[in-house]
Amino acid sequence: MTDRHNAIPRKLTANVKAAGCAAKLSSAELEEVLRGLPRQECDQLLTSIENFEDAAVYKLTEDLAIIQTVDFFPPVVDDPYLYGQIAATNALSDVYAMGGRPILALNILCFPTCDYPMEVVREILRGGGDQVAAAGAVVAGGHSIQSSEPVYGLCVTGLIKPGAVLTNGGARAADQLVLCKPIGTGVGLLGLKAGMLSQAAEQALISSMTTLSTKALECALAYKLSAATDVTGFGLLGHLHEMAKGSGLTIRLNADAVPLLPETQALAEQGFVPAGAYGNRKSFEQFTTYINDVDLSLGDLLFDPQTSGGLLLALDKPQSENLLRDLKKIGVEASCIGEFIDGSSGKVEVVSYGKNS
């Protein structure tokens, strides 16, 4: 991390109750909130909220649709520029998860200007703007209000052809699951705040959260994908459940193949587990079956809420092997972590042989 925050009289994360995507409502809470609300019918709307898709897709013509998404959260780090970068990367990710290309973004900013110099706000927006520009999109304004806690994010618009939309359903039995980033950001951020991460582990954590999924998606679109999502606040197991449910299948997860950010399992063993992970466990453990024993620390990481997590892609086995090769050639830390199998809709079977222990 840089030293810019040394001049800040008060840390951005000082009064944050839950940082990053760990601040999201849990899946169970969200379902309760949405239950009974009226659903609008629209022939041009190509997605629905029933399976918590990553973004909305609206068909304009036979050859063009827009992707619309919004994402914001409290600070995950004290460096304002870096916070802006991470929040923007996370918001842009949902467009990539639908298979699209971001073109336009609007800032969303809630900030207690009495508590910080205006330079802090400027740096947050600069960080977000630089990341949007790196994605080939443009920031065209936004909205700001006063609040007791800093919150920043983006509303993002993307483009896609209607026939090319990727959803988190549609996978087929025997399809493989390719994950494009390691997990453990929630645990890692707690370790960072406590000063428990080595410099190398800190750099790996920050690099993961600020890496756009542009290259990973461009590489993956050369193959026939059957489903896609990105791993964020509901944790890996939560998003696997959504994919399995949307596809009407069971997923068998090889927990030993899941890439972890450096030092995160050791931190989880010491109890550095965000509250959001326990909320995710409460929401999704009912859909999870453990075929054999899984270390508690590894299990906590599978439920760990991810900030700016990687794409999760479904495709057949021969293609997945070639995709993994191509992703690694361009520097994407990708792994095949499981497969879809016939079984109960929405179930996730976790297999572990203790290799990560």
pLDDT recorded at residue 110: 95
Domain count, the chain: 2
> Which residue, 144, 164, 184, sits at the end of a domain?
164
Query: pLDDT tens digits for 233-268?
Result: 999 999 999 999 999 999 999 999 999 999 999 999
Residue 324 lies in a domain: yes
Range of the domain at 68: 4-164
Query: pLDDT tens digits for 35-83?
Result: 777 777 888 888 877 667 888 999 999 999 999 999 999 999 999 999 9
pLDDT band of 18, cuts 50, 70, 90: low
Question: Does residue 277 share a domain with residue 192?
Answer: yes
pLDDT band of 19, cuts 50, 70, 90: low
Say how many Å lie between the first and final Cα of the chain, rounded.
29
pLDDT recorded at residue 22: 57
Question: Does residue 153 share a domain with residue 188?
Answer: no
pLDDT recorded at residue 17: 65
Question: Does residue 240 share a domain with residue 154?
Answer: no
- The residue among 96, 101, 93, 240 whose CA lies nearest residue 168 is 240
List own/partner pairs for 316-319 with CB under 8 A and 24 or more apart.
316/172, 316/174, 316/175, 316/176, 316/224, 316/226, 317/174, 317/175, 317/176, 319/223, 319/224
CB neighbour list of residue 164: distance below 8 Å, 6 or more residues apart:
99
Least confident stretch, 29-38, 53-62, 105-114, 273-282: 29-38
Question: Does residue 103 share a domain with residue 142?
Answer: yes
pLDDT at 286 exceeding the cut of 90:
yes
What number of other Cβ atoms are within 10 A of residue 135's Cβ?
A: 24
Residue 323 lies in a domain: yes
pLDDT recorded at residue 7: 45
pLDDT at 357 exceeding the cut of 60:
no
Residue 242 lies in a domain: yes
pLDDT at 100 exceeding the cut of 90:
yes
Residue 60 to residues 65, 152, 300, Cα–Cα distance (Å): 5, 29, 42
Question: Does residue 154 share a domain with residue 26?
Answer: yes
Question: Does residue 236 share a domain with residue 137?
Answer: no
Question: Does residue 150 share a domain with residue 87?
Answer: yes
Length of the chain: 357
Least confident stretch, 13-22, 138-147, 224-233, 283-292: 13-22
**Mean pLDDT of all residues belonging to the chain:** 91
> Which residue, 131, 164, 197, sits at the end of a domain?
164
CATH of the domain at 119: 3.30.1330.10
114 annotated active-site: no
Query: pLDDT tens digits for 190-246?
Result: 999 999 999 999 999 999 999 999 999 999 999 999 999 999 999 999 999 999 999
pLDDT recorded at residue 125: 98
Query: pLDDT tens digits for 305-356?
Result: 999 999 999 999 999 999 999 999 999 999 999 999 999 999 999 998 765 4
Residue 196 lies in a domain: yes
CA distance 63 to 141: 28
pLDDT band of 277, cuts 50, 70, 90: very high
Question: Does residue 226 share a domain with residue 298?
Answer: yes
Which tokens sit at 11?
A: 């840390």
Question: Does residue 248 share a domain with residue 143?
Answer: no
Question: Does residue 200 share a domain with residue 124?
Answer: no
Residue 357 lies in a domain: no
Question: Does residue 230 share a domain with residue 142?
Answer: no
pLDDT recorded at residue 33: 74
Phi, psi (deg, nearest 5) at residue 206: -65, -40
> Which residue, 164, 193, 220, sits at the end of a domain?
164
Residue 356 lies in a domain: no
Mode of pairing for the β-strands spanning 151-160 and 311-315: unpaired
Which tokens sit at 306?
A: 């991810």
Do residues 235 and 303 touch, judged by C-beta distance below 8 A?
yes
pLDDT recorded at residue 38: 76
Phi, psi (deg, nearest 5) at residue 222: -75, -10
pLDDT at 20 exceeding the cut of 70:
no
DSSP state of 21: G
Mode of pairing for the β-strands spanning 101-111 and 138-146: parallel
Mean pLDDT of 274-293: 93
Do residues 316 and 176 touch, judged by C-beta distance below 8 A?
yes
pLDDT recorded at residue 23: 62
Question: Does residue 319 share a domain with residue 182?
Answer: yes
